[in-house]
Structure 1
Amino acid sequence: MPTAAVLLLHGGRAEGPEPPPALNLPALRMRPFAGAVTRAVRGRGVLVAEVRYRHRGWNGARADAARDAEVALGRLRELAGPVPVVLLGHSMGGRAALRAAGDPAVRGVVALAPWCPTDEPVDHLGGRRLYLLHDETDRVTSARQSWEFVRRAREAGADAAGIPMPTGGHAMLRGADLWHRRAAELTAALLSHG
Structure 2
Amino acid sequence: MAQHAPPARGARLGRAAGANGSDSTVSGVVLLLPGAARFSPGPVRPLARALARAGGAQGLVTHTVVHGGPSSREDQARWAADEVVRRYGDVPVCLAGYGEGGRAALRAAGHGAVGAVVALAPCLGRSAPGGPEEPVKQLSGRRVLIVHGTNDPRSDPETSFLLAARAKKANRSTCRFEVHSDGHGLREHRSEVVALTVDFVLGSVSSGRYSRPVTDALAAPPPLGLRMPLASGFGRTPRR
TM range, normalised to the smaller chain? 0.7 to 0.9
Q: Is the 8 A contact 2:33 2:102 kept in 1?
A: yes
Task: Please identify the structure whose Cα radius of gyration is greater.
Answer: 2
Whole-angstrom CA distance in 1 between matches of 2:52 and 2:185: 21
Does the aligned pair in 1 maintain the 2:43–2:190 contact within 8 Å?
A: no
Q: TM-score, normalization: structure 2?
A: 0.69
Match of 1:71? 79
CA separation in 2, counterparts of 1:181 and 1:8? 15
The runs of at least 4 consecutive aligned structure 1 residues that moved more than 6 Å come to: none
Query: Structure 1 residues 169 and 27, CA, compared in 2 at 3 Å: closer, same or farther?
Result: closer
Runs of 5+ consecutive residues of structure 2 not aligned to the other structure: 1-22, 128-132, 210-240
Match of 1:5 among 4, 15, 29: 29
CA apart distance, 1:156: 3.0
Give the Cα separation in 2 of the matches to 1:51 and 1:145: 25
Match of 1:193 among 199, 203, 208: 208
Unaligned ranges ≥5, structure 1 = 13-19, 57-61
Matches of 2:180 and 2:53, distance apart in 1: 24
Q: Is the 8 A contact 2:99 2:123 kept in 1?
A: yes
Change (3 A) 1:28 1:170: closer
* Inter-CA distance 156–168: structure 2 relative to 1 (3 Å threshold): same
Q: 1:25 to 1:136 in 2, by over 3 A?
A: closer
The 1-side partners of 2:51 and 2:61 are apart by 10
Higher relative contact order structure (alpha carbons within 8 Å, sequence separation ≥ 6): 1
Distance 2:141 2:106 in 1: 13
2:197 match = 183
Aligned positions of 1:1-194 closer than 5 A: 1=23, 2-12=26-36, 29-55=43-69, 64-117=72-125, 118=127, 119-157=133-171, 159-191=173-205, 192-193=207-208
Give the TM-score, by structure 1 length: 0.84
**Compared CA separation, residues 97 and 187, structure 1 to 2 (3 A):** same
| Structure 2 counterpart of 1:110, one-letter code | V
- Provide the alpha-carbon RMSD of the alignment: 2.1
SS across alignment from 2:66: coil
